[in-house]
Amino acid sequence: MNNAYPWGAGSDFSYEGQGDGAGEARIGVSVFAERTSLRESMQEDVAGAGFRITEAGNLARLVDMEDAGPALGDIVMVDCPLVEPSLLAGLARLDLVAARKGLGLVVSTSVDALDDVFGALDQSQPQILVAPSRAERLVALGQVMSQLPQRRVRELSDEDRLVILRLTQQITEIGEKLSGLSGAAVPKPVDQPSAFRFEPPANAAPNEAAASLPDARIIRRIIRNRQLRGRFLNPELFADPAWDMLLDLTAAHLEKVRVSVTSLCIASGVPPTTALRWIGQMTEGGLLKRVEDDQDRRRAFIVLTDKARDAMAAYFAELGNTAHRMV
Q: Is the pLDDT score of 182 beyond 70?
A: no
Percent pLDDT > 70 in the chain is 69
pLDDT in tens, 99-155: 998 899 999 999 999 999 999 999 999 999 999 998 889 888 888 887 776 665 445
E strands, 131-227, in order: none
Alpha carbon separation from 184 to 47, 169, 177, 266 (Å, rounded): 21, 19, 10, 21
Q: Is the pLDDT score of 227 beyond 50?
A: yes
pLDDT: is 182 or 202 the higher one?
202
> How far is residue 219's CA from residue 250's CA, in Å, rounded to a whole number?
8
Tell me, yes or no, if the pTM score tops 0.85.
Answer: no
- Note the pLDDT of residue 183: 47
**DSSP H or E run through 100:** helix 85-101
E strands, 73-198, in order: 75-79, 104-109, 127-130
pLDDT: is 322 or 303 the higher one?
303
pLDDT in tens, 65-84: 665 456 788 999 999 998 88
Burial class from Cβ neighbours inside 10 Å (0-12, 13-18, 19+) for residue 244 reads buried
* Model confidence band, residue 216 (pLDDT cutoffs 50, 70, 90): very high
The domains located in the chain, with CATH, are: 28-182 (3.40.50.2300), 193-325 (1.10.10.10)
DSSP letter at 77 equals: E
Q: Is the pLDDT score of 180 beyond 80?
A: no
Q: Is the pLDDT score of 41 beyond 90?
A: yes
- Note the pLDDT of residue 63: 77
* Model confidence band, residue 162 (pLDDT cutoffs 50, 70, 90): low
